[in-house]
A and B are shown apart, each in its own frame.
Chain A
Amino acid sequence: MNLLRFAYDNLTRRPARTTLTMTAISLGIAAIVALTAIAWGFEASWQKANDARGTDLIVTRLASENTMPSPFIAEKVRPALVNLPHVRQVVGLLSEMLTVSYDAPPMFVFGWEFNSYLWEHLQLLEGRWPESRNEPVIVIGTLAAELLHKKTGDMIEIEGVEMPVVGIFQSSALVENGALILTLQLVQQITDKTGKVNVLNLQLDSSASDSDIANIKQQVRDTLPGYTAITSGELVSQNAVVRISKAMSNATILIASLVGALVVFNTMLMSISERTREIGLLLALGWHPRTVIKLIVSESAMLTFAGGIIGIILGVLLTRGLEHIELMRGKIDAVFSFPFLLGVLALSIVLGIFGGLYPAIKAARTRPSQALRQE
């Protein structure tokens, strides 16, 4: 007979209450899992987009809080970059979020410099790539094709300019799969931004070390006022969507944890007040008050542990379900890492320990003579 077995028996004694509490906890944990996985997914997806492109550093205009970095003339900045040590290619990129069809959500339209390394990581599934820097054609990602109901040969109108889709590609990054890609020159022309880019992507040679990267960042800071060089990871963590979704997931973690702890607290308080006589008995039989505390805390931790496991399963299912809702298509690329799920499980156990602590201490302070007198 051990303490955990006894605690388990005590929980199964009131199946309705135990189930209810576990449900409440599992819903909270499910919300945590879903929102956090989605938030991380956003980040990872952007990260993947940059990593897959083979971009080591990104040069953009300095933007303060709440502002979008605005486009700049590439040739004003490029000369200062191409001669930096380890820089192999400097490639312009112009992106806009545009409504392409009123039946589909706004989509990313990317302008990538023709013949640059950016295109290399895309896998062409159908059709062909643009053949010159100003050939008026579009290639679209698999998800974009699905959302817009377009195939090669169909026409797409971007900002009043009609162009044929000549290719459909696949990328490891969700952001790109949902995007329309044109040559940089074409996007500049269509959006009336001749010569302008949002960012310059720097590809460094393989011998570049972290300190070389730091060095380049410093050089950009010194020689190009108003511009900043950041790694793709830094760019992603500054992304407003990523930040908002992370803030949301943090808020959810906080609220769900509080609610979870309160639910456990309430349940355990109820449970010990029903069992006053029994706790008195345990003390009379020579249990140390510490053992009583261990018992109650084990019970609440078991509750939240089970709730946590169910919540994780629910959360994963919920996220997978959301991914299939039309409205959310292509916006979710949830990441469930093993350490994360383990962390959530640890969190639920911690909730149980905290929620059960006060009721446990209260139980341990029971006066056995009084408790046993109760009938």
Chain B
Amino acid sequence: MLRTHNLALHFDEGRTKALDGVDIEIFEGEFVAITGPSGCGKSSLLNLIGTLDNPTKGELFFCNQPYSALQDLSEFRREQIGFVFQSFHLIPTLTTLGNVLVPTIGRSSDHNAIDRASDLLKLMGLESRLNHFPGQLSGGERQRVAIARALINDPAFILADEPTGSLDSTNATHVLDVIANMRLKKSLTIVMVTHDPVVAAKADREICMCDGKVISGSRRNP
């Protein structure tokens, strides 16, 4: 479903090689964990997959279609990708419901967005928190709001960058359970960056990175 070819991302005119020749393949419905030491390029890889950055070299393919052929990147992000970040990135002035609806703002044709958002929040166990502001929620709750937001447009895959990195183990477990649950319900593909071996162990596969290169797990084991 997703494939990269000789992917490279350089910064500072080539002095920093965040990614250096990455070839990976991710299949539909897979749960892939990306691990590796800090600064090895995990977030960079996730950003490239999420079209938040352009590769210096190489190409990405979504369903065998090159990214460079995509007409409208924002539409691609909206329709196919759901982001979850370590620091939640909720908008403080919006309620739980408002935050979940943010990706639908500006799309007049989307009539049942509120219903979908409430359903999602119910699935997250947040039905009693619809009108709370992020400041009134716990870390785990906030991350669940962020997950609901990522799912509001029914994406094909979730890109999560250390989603449990700011959470204690109880909340982390809860959030992971929620993600696992959603994956089954919505047949999602999940790419998750993590430092936590316990989390990585729950994944179908672990892609191990070091210094901008993939050292193991780039392909599904036969």
A residues with a Cβ closer than 8 A to B are 1-3, 6, 9-10, 12-13, 277-278, 281-289, 291, 294-295, 367-369, 372, 375
Contacts and interface: CB of A to CB of B under 8 A. Distances in A.
A9 B77 CA distance: 25
A294 B77 CA distance: 19
* Across the A-B interface, the 8 shortest Cβ-Cβ residue pairs: A286-B78, A291-B106, A1-B101, A286-B77, A369-B52, A369-B53, A285-B103, A288-B74
Interface of B: 47, 50, 52-53, 72, 74-75, 77-79, 81, 83, 85, 87, 89, 91-94, 97-98, 101-106, 113-114, 149, 153
B74 A372 contact: no
Contacts of B75: 286, 288
A287 B103 contact: yes
A115 to B, nearest CB: 71
16 contacts: A1-B105, A1-B113, A3-B105, A9-B93, A283-B77, A285-B78, A286-B74, A286-B78, A286-B153, A287-B74, A287-B106, A288-B72, A288-B106, A368-B52, A369-B52, A369-B53
A1 B77 contact: no
Nearest to B155: A286
Given A286-B153, A289-B74, A1 B89 contact: no
Nearest to B47: A369
A158 B177 CA distance: 99
Nearest to B110: A1
B151 to A, nearest CB: 12
A369 to B, nearest CB: 4
A287 B104 CA distance: 8
Nearest to A7: B105
A10 B91 CA distance: 10
B91 A278 contact: yes
Contacts of B102: 1, 6, 282, 285
A3 B106 contact: yes
Contacts of A287: 74, 78, 103, 105-106
B9 to A, nearest CB: 10
A286 B81 contact: yes
B89 A283 contact: no
B105 A6 contact: yes
Given A10-B93, A281-B89, A286 B105 contact: no
A5 to B, nearest CB: 8
Nearest to B152: A285
Contact of B105 (A2, A277, A368, A369): A2
A285 B149 contact: yes
A277 B89 contact: yes
